[in-house]
Each structure stands twice: as structure tokens, then as C-alpha cells.
Amino acid sequence: MKANLERPPICEAIALGVKSRIRSIVMIALMGSIGLLPVALSTCMGSEVQKPFATMIVGGLQICMLLSFTVSSIIFYYFYKDYHRIILLIQIDEESD
């Protein structure tokens, strides 16, 4: 129980978060891409309308998958990198009062 209350360093927390969620995000993106791949590669009649739409969705799924692991982790790091230092300063300030 006490181990759950302790906070790991920010880089370790980000790595654990990515590691625990990578499988589900990759599976969702791959299944959506594989499902729309026949539409994106088709050349039969009527594919002129469906092909660009399917290509856009497949590309968007892949880009969002990559961005969810890179950009969101970087943003999280920059917002919370000074969190421990700020908490320590608040605790020191409260103790001095």
C-alpha cells in the first residue's frame, strides 16, 4: 500500500505509462488501418470517392499513434518536471511558519 503512495521520478513514470498503454493503442491503430487497407488500395469502380477518405483515416491513425507516445510524453514531462521541487518548497515554507 505504501509503495503506491510513493511517486517515482518523472522519467520513470512516463516510461511506465507508455509501457502500460502501448499495446492497446497500437492494437487499435493497427486494426483500424488493416480494416481500411482494402478500401485504400482498391482500384475498382466507385473507389474514387472512398480511396482518399480511407487513405486519410489510415494515415491519421498511424500519425496519432506516434504522436500519442511522443508529443504527449514530452508535454507531460515539461509540465511536471519541476513538480517535486515545487512540492518540496511548499513543505519547507509550511514548516517555517
pTM beyond cutoff 0.85: no
59-90, pLDDT tens digit by residue?
998 898 888 888 888 888 888 877 767 777 77
Report whether 14 contacts 73 (CB < 8 A): yes
5-24, pLDDT tens digit by residue?
677 777 888 888 888 888 88
Helix then strand count (H, E) for the chain reads 4, 0
